């Protein structure tokens, strides 16, 4: 029987490369579990790894060859919105595409399904809670310079005014990494703004470098930070001393004490051993993407039908985040606010 090949588009270089090893390890677990339970449409599943950290032309060439050669039957994996926007024209209406990363929202293109978080559900209630509990009314935004950070900041700036919260400044830095001088200039401006909080919309190693520079200024002792991509590998890269007053909002944390979350961590360690990369939010999103993909394709009856649908409204499945329910082409889910505690997170509240 022929294989069902899932293209796993993951970052193995660049700022997002910090997520790559754990994303690959979780993808391997998900494929093994799919194959133990019948695969997809009764076909054994194999993942073909694609490097989302490649320069745009090289990535499009690699993915285009895989599609033209019929080597992949669906696409998923954790990668940035910049990568998603670059590859959609190649993928659209050819194979189903499940995008599992937190992103800026408003994605409605046919054949593209989203299981990641969006700002209105993820960040707005987190900012509201920090406004109430720590008095963070003035916020500064620092982000990478591409669609997700810019659009997220635009959406939130309109929403948070109703909370008595304002954005008092912001800077977007090169996506492939800021220079020390650029980081220093941002921190100078941030200090002058007298912000109570910093919304950190940075990917992987960029966020790590910002955390370190932020702590060297002593800002971590008096200014809160809120992020959505700040997962366990980034905490380790930042160093425990740099994570004071650092909050994260999202649908999954390794310390989440639900049966579904604990089961995933247990199965992951059983499959890979205790020396495996830390499973964080980006890696867990890859697992969600693969199981959502199976649910969507099997409901459609074929990958070609799933590649042209606009909605899977009402479709649901159970994953490590619990019950996932699609409204249109977006999956609704439980979301949480957590506070960094050294190299892990303490869960504070469901949002």
Q: What are phi and psi of 96, to 5 degrees?
A: -70, 145
* 43-52 pLDDT tens trace: 999 999 999 9
| Percent of the chain at pLDDT exceeding 90 | 90
Question: In this model, does residue 1 exceed pLDDT 70?
Answer: no
Task: Say what the pLDDT of residue 123 is.
Answer: 93
Considering the domain architecture, whether residues 140 and 91 belong to the same structural domain is answered as: no
Which DSSP symbol is given to 348?
Answer: E
Considering the domain architecture, whether residues 239 and 289 belong to the same structural domain is answered as: no
Considering the domain architecture, whether residues 216 and 330 belong to the same structural domain is answered as: no
Considering the domain architecture, whether residues 87 and 26 belong to the same structural domain is answered as: yes
The model's pTM is 0.94
* 250-270 pLDDT tens trace: 999 999 889 999 999 999 999
Considering the domain architecture, whether residues 113 and 123 belong to the same structural domain is answered as: no
Question: In this model, does residue 169 exceed pLDDT 70?
Answer: yes
DSSP for 179-214 reads: -HHHHHHHHHHHHHHT-SEEEEE--HHHHHHHHHHH
State which residues form the domain around 79. Answer: 4-118+257-334
Domain with residue 216: its CATH number is 3.40.50.2300
Considering the domain architecture, whether residues 85 and 139 belong to the same structural domain is answered as: no
Question: In this model, does residue 106 exceed pLDDT 90?
Answer: no
Average pLDDT of the chain to the nearest whole number: 94
- The H or E element spanning position 64 is helix 56-68
Give the total number of structural domains in the chain: 2
Cα dihedral: 147, 148, 153, 156 (round 10) = 130
pLDDT category, 310, cuts 50, 70, 90? Answer: confident
Considering the domain architecture, whether residues 67 and 107 belong to the same structural domain is answered as: yes
Half-sphere exposure of 322 (CA within 13 A, CB side): 12
Count of CB atoms situated within 10 Å of the CB of 70: 10
Considering the domain architecture, whether residues 138 and 114 belong to the same structural domain is answered as: no
Considering the domain architecture, whether residues 50 and 127 belong to the same structural domain is answered as: no
**Average pLDDT value for residue range 97-118:** 93
Task: Say what the pLDDT of residue 3 is.
Answer: 96
**Average pLDDT value for residue range 297-303:** 95
Angle between helices 81-91 and 56-68 (to 10 degrees): 30
Question: In this model, does residue 271 exceed pLDDT 80?
Answer: yes
Considering the domain architecture, whether residues 132 and 244 belong to the same structural domain is answered as: yes
Considering the domain architecture, whether residues 137 and 111 belong to the same structural domain is answered as: no
* 50-95 pLDDT tens trace: 999 999 999 999 999 999 999 999 999 999 999 999 999 999 999 9
Q: Answer yes or no: are the C-beta atoms of 324 and 337 closer than 8 Å.
A: no
Considering the domain architecture, whether residues 203 and 145 belong to the same structural domain is answered as: yes
**Average pLDDT value for residue range 92-114:** 93
* 181-191 pLDDT tens trace: 999 999 999 99
pLDDT category, 240, cuts 50, 70, 90? Answer: confident
Q: Please state, in angstroms and rounded to a whole number, the distance separating the CA atoms of residues 75 and 91.
A: 8
């Amino acid at each position: 029987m022929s294989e069902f090949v899932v293209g796993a588009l993951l970052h193995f270089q660049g700022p997002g490369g910090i997520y790559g090893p754990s994303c690959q390890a979780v993808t391997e677990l998900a494929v093994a579990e799919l194959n133990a339970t019948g695969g997809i449409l009764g076909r054994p599943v194999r993942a073909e790894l694609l490097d989302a950290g490649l320069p745009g032309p090289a990535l499009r060439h690699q993915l285009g060859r895989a599609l033209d050669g019929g080597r992949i039957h669906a696409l998923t994996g954790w990668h940035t919105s910049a990568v998603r926007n670059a590859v959609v024209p190649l993928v659209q209406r050819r194979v189903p595409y499940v995008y599992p990363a937190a992103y800026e929202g408003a994605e409605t293109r046919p054949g593209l399904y989203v299981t990641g978080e969006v700002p209105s559900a993820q960040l707005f209630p987190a900012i509201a809670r920090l406004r109430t509990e720590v008095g963070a009314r003035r916020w500064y935004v620092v982000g990478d310079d591409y669609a997700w950070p810019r659009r997220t900041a635009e959406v939130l700036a309109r929403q948070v005014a109703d909370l008595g919260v304002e954005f008092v400044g912001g800077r977007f830095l090169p996506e492939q990494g800021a220079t020390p001088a650029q980081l220093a200039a941002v921190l100078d401006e941030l200090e002058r703004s007298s912000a109570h909080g910093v919304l950190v919309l940075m990917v992987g190693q960029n966020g790590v470098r910002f955390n370190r520079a932020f702590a060297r200024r002593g800002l971590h002792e008096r200014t809160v930070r809120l992020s959505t991509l700040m997962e366990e590998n980034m905490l380790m890269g930042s160093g425990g001393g740099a994570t004071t007053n650092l909050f994260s909002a999202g649908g999954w944390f390794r310390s989440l004490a639900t049966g579904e979350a604990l089961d995933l961590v247990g199965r992951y360690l059983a499959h890979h051993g205790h020396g495996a990369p830390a499973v964080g939010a980006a890696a867990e999103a890859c697992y969600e993407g693969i199981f959502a993909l199976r649910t969507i394709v099997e409901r459609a009856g074929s990958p070609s039908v799933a590649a042209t649908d606009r909605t899977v409204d009402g479709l649901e499945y159970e994953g490590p985040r619990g019950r996932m329910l699609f409204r249109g082409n977006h999956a609704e889910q439980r979301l949480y606010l957590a506070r960094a505690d050294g190299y892990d997170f303490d869960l504070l509240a469901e949002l």
